[in-house]
Structure 1
Amino acid sequence: MLYEGVLRKMQTEIGNPIQYFLVFENDFLNMNQLLDKELQIDFIKFECLNCGKDKPIYRQGFCKSCFFEVPSAGDWIMKPELSTAHLDKEDRDLEYEKKVQLQPHIVYLANSSNVKVGVTRKSQVPTRWIDQGAHEAIEIIEAPNRYLAGITEVALKEYVSDKTSWQKMLTNRIEDVDLVEWRDKLQSNIPEEASKYFLSEKTETHLDFPVLQYPEKVKSLNLDKTPSYKGILKGIKGQYLIFEDSTVFNIRGSEGYYIGLDLGSSG
């Protein structure tokens, strides 16, 4: 059966294991049901997530001109400490920025390849942790805006990483750690203006990913270099599809690519 559409990050539902859905304009697929099936992915064209034009994707699913114009690609997205909506100061679109920045944000610790600190909107818990392939996570503070969460992350990344090794995450060479202990150890390093938002009662969240077989060593599928690929799906973790031949495909990293997806037979 053939499906076509522009790639956007997979939608998820918490469960044991987590359920993944690939959503196209007129169809959606429960990707868990495709485990042990042969899939063929064919690149057809680009489709910018903003303007919809067939122009090369620059970053985050946008063509180059849209990336530097749309409010959802402002620098404060990747660097929350640059948020200015709480000062009534516009970056690209103040109305949009107030809507996103002036809502509760969580600073958290997650363990996907190692212990890392991160920021997400409260409404994105636990989705953000799932997208990062974290098998355990815990909240540190709940701040009323993105700026306070951002400066807390900046302060804490002096003591703990803010990056994930996607290769290590996908080979599952990870160790369980005591995130409650880590959180309590980091408490004294939270900036004073955010310290009153510390969450002392939270416990670890554990996440179970639908993976039948982890690769020993990963090789990444790049549709620009390999526009057609066929393989047997063995797992889904983070926003990656994991195939039997150790190929991994980053769905989120390929947003804005319009593909054909052919579902083959069982493995």
Structure 2
Amino acid sequence: MQYEGVLTKMQTEQGTPIQYYLVFENSFLNMNQLLGRDLEINFQGFKCLNCGKKKKIYRTGFCYDCFYSIPDAGDWIMRPELSTAHLGIADRDLEYEKKVQLQPHIVYLASASDMKVGVTRKTQVPTRWIDQGASQAIPLIEVPNRYLAGITEVALKDHFSDKINWKKMLLNDIMEIDLIGRRNEMHALLPDEVKEYFETTPEKLYTLEYPVLEYPKKINSLNLTKTPAYSGKLTGIKGQYLMFEDGTVFNVRSYEGFEVIISV
């Protein structure tokens, strides 16, 4: 069978293991059901997720013009400390920014390779951790807006990484970390503006299980612009990566806005 459409990040459903879905405009694939089977991916072209034009994708599924103009690609997305909606100051579109920034956010600790610190909207728990391929995660503080979460992350980045070593994550080279114990050491490192939220944030440890038949021994990242046609046996899914028997890994999220045909 063939499935054709524009790639967006895989949708997920919490479970044991996590369920993954590739969703196109007129069809969808339950990727878990394809484990152990051969897939073929063929790159057909580009389609911007915002304007819908068949223009080369620049970043995060958007063409160059959209990336530098639309509100959901502002710098505050990747750098929450730049959020200004709480001050009534617009970046690109104040109404949009109020909707996204002025809602509860979680600063968390996660184990995906080593320990990392990160920020997510409360509504994205546990989706954000699944997308990163975290094995475990625990909320550190819950704050009422994105700015407070951002300044907390900046303060903690002086002591802990905010990045995931994606190769270690896919090789399942995961450091054993006592996240509850580490969380309890964090209070002294928090900015004064957010310390009050530490005590009110539930100490809940999330453990995540991924649908993996076999982890790769080595990794070769698939680049659709250089290799527009690829086929292989699917052996695992973790984060937003598809893993194949020959060691090829494909980061679906990196290719949002790419039109493909997937043959099963």
Aligned counterpart, 1:212 = 213
Aligned counterpart, 2:59 = 59
CA distance in 2: counterparts of 1:9 and 1:2, whole angstroms: 19
Please tell me the residue identity of whatever aligns with 1:206: T
Aligned counterpart, 1:72 = 72
Aligned counterpart, 2:239 = 238
| Per-residue CA distance 1:100-124 (angstroms, 9 max, x = gap) | 0000000000100110000000000
> How far off is 1:175 after superposition?
2.1
Report the 3-state secondary structure (helix = DSSP H, G, I; strand = E; otherwise coil) of the residue aligned with 2:186: helix
Q: Percent identical across equivalent pairs?
A: 65
> How far off is 1:135 after superposition?
0.5
CA distance in 2: counterparts of 1:39 and 1:162, whole angstroms: 33
Please tell me the residue identity of whatever aligns with 1:3: Y
CA distance in 2: counterparts of 1:135 and 1:34, whole angstroms: 22
Please tell me the residue identity of whatever aligns with 2:70: V
CA distance in 1: counterparts of 2:187 and 2:34, whole angstroms: 43
CA distance in 1: counterparts of 2:69 and 2:204, whole angstroms: 40
The yes-or-no answer on 1:253 pairing with 2:254 is: yes
| Per-residue CA distance 1:101-151 (angstroms, 9 max, x = gap) | 000000000100110000000000000000000010000000000000000
Paired residues for 1:104-119 under 5 Å: 104-119=104-119
> How far off is 1:54 after superposition?
1.1
Please tell me the residue identity of whatever aligns with 2:217: E
| Per-residue CA distance 1:206-228 (angstroms, 9 max, x = gap) | 00000001011111000000000
Paired residues for 1:64-103 under 5 Å: 64-103=64-103
> How far off is 1:94 after superposition?
0.4
Report the 3-state secondary structure (helix = DSSP H, G, I; strand = E; otherwise coil) of the residue aligned with 1:98: helix
CA distance in 1: counterparts of 2:35 and 2:187, whole angstroms: 42
Please tell me the residue identity of whatever aligns with 2:2: L
> How far off is 1:200 after superposition?
5.5
Aligned counterpart, 1:170 = 170
Q: What is the aligned length?
A: 263
Report the 3-state secondary structure (helix = DSSP H, G, I; strand = E; otherwise coil) of the residue aligned with 1:96: helix
Please tell me the residue identity of whatever aligns with 1:169: M
CA distance in 1: counterparts of 2:74 and 2:30, whole angstroms: 32
Aligned counterpart, 1:148 = 148
Deviates more, 1:3-12 or 1:180-189: 180-189
The yes-or-no answer on 1:32 pairing with 2:36 is: no
Please tell me the residue identity of whatever aligns with 1:107: V
Deviates more, 1:198-207 or 1:244-253: 198-207
Please tell me the residue identity of whatever aligns with 2:147: Y
CA distance in 2: counterparts of 1:179 and 1:22, whole angstroms: 31
TM-score (norm 2): 0.98
Report the 3-state secondary structure (helix = DSSP H, G, I; strand = E; otherwise coil) of the residue aligned with 2:184: helix
Aligned counterpart, 1:228 = 229
Aligned counterpart, 1:23 = 23
Report the 3-state secondary structure (helix = DSSP H, G, I; strand = E; otherwise coil) of the residue aligned with 1:147: helix
> How far off is 1:97 after superposition?
0.2
> How far off is 1:185 after superposition?
1.1
Please tell me the residue identity of whatever aligns with 2:223: N
Report the 3-state secondary structure (helix = DSSP H, G, I; strand = E; otherwise coil) of the residue aligned with 1:202: coil
CA distance in 2: counterparts of 1:112 and 1:124, whole angstroms: 17
Deviates more, 1:86-95 or 1:168-177: 168-177
